Amino acid sequence: MDWSQLLHLGDLSLTLPAGSAIAAWLLAAKAWRAAFGWTLVFALALALVAATKIAFLGWATRLPALDYKAVSGHAASFTTVFPTLTFLLLRASTTTVRLSATAASLALGAMVAAALVHAGEHTAAEAIAGWLIGAGASVCAIHLAGDVAAPPTGRAIVCCALAWAAVAWALEMAPLGYWMIKVALALSGNAHPTPWDHCG
């Protein structure tokens, strides 16, 4: 398999349900502060990405010197979700193991960012910006999660499965890309969005 296919690990169809499952797991563990913190951090990271995309779609905002149009959502969402997930899944391991595995997840996020550049989906500036946002968000989330105790297995599995299924279904019903275009057009007053290959 071509290594550039790693970019698909950042698809919102995977990362958004996974992020929701993390929140459900924390709620099942009755870790209210961690659940609220994770939800807030994840939402802020996604909102920042969406804001840059809406700005480009509606007003063609860009930084020509850096060949930058908008933050990579794939790089940001993967690097937010999977290091946090890794840290939580290895909660029973030693601190060294948890931190090493989390660092490896951050490195995999960098590979996802590189794959996006290699595939021509984003420029280096856009992919690096996404990775930095995701890395910052995951570090914050891990700090907030601390040493959360494991919830009862059955309850945790049910909560995670329900959260995953609900969010995956919602994404099928209302694709986020469609709504970002709608918002960009409504705010900018333009009839058509700026094409991604627009060179201004």
Q: What is the pLDDT of residues 55-66, one digit of tens each?
A: 999 999 989 999
Average pLDDT, the chain: 90
Is the pLDDT at 1 greater than 60, yes or no? no
Q: List the structure tokens of 44.
A: 């802020």
Q: What is d(CA 107, CA 79) in angstroms, rounded to the nearest whole number?
A: 9
Task: State if pTM tops 0.95.
Answer: no
Report the pLDDT averaged over residues 88-112. 92
8 A C-beta contact, residue 163 and residue 23 = yes
Report the pLDDT averaged over residues 143-170. 87
At 154, the pLDDT band (50, 70, 90 cuts) reads confident
- State residue 7's pLDDT score: 77
Of 79, 112, 77, 123, which Cα lies nearest the Cα of 3? 112
- State residue 3's pLDDT score: 62
- State residue 198's pLDDT score: 46
- State residue 200's pLDDT score: 36
Give, for 99, the enclosing helix (H) or strand (E): helix 95-118
- State residue 92's pLDDT score: 83
Helix (H, G, I), strand (E, B) or coil at 63: strand
- State residue 178's pLDDT score: 83
CA separation (Å) from 193 to 63, 121, 136, 181? 18, 18, 30, 7
- State residue 125's pLDDT score: 96
Helix (H, G, I), strand (E, B) or coil at 11: coil
Q: Which of 18-27, 69-78, 110-119, 140-149 has the lowest mean pLDDT?
A: 140-149
Beta bridge partners of 143: none
DSSP 8-state secondary structure symbol assigned to residue 119: T
Is the pLDDT at 150 greater than 80, yes or no? no
Among 77-81, 86-90, 171-175, which range has the highest average pLDDT?
77-81
Of 104, 73, 83, 97, which Cα lies nearest the Cα of 176? 73
Output 171 or 76, whichever has higher pLDDT: 76
Report the pLDDT averaged over residues 97-117. 94
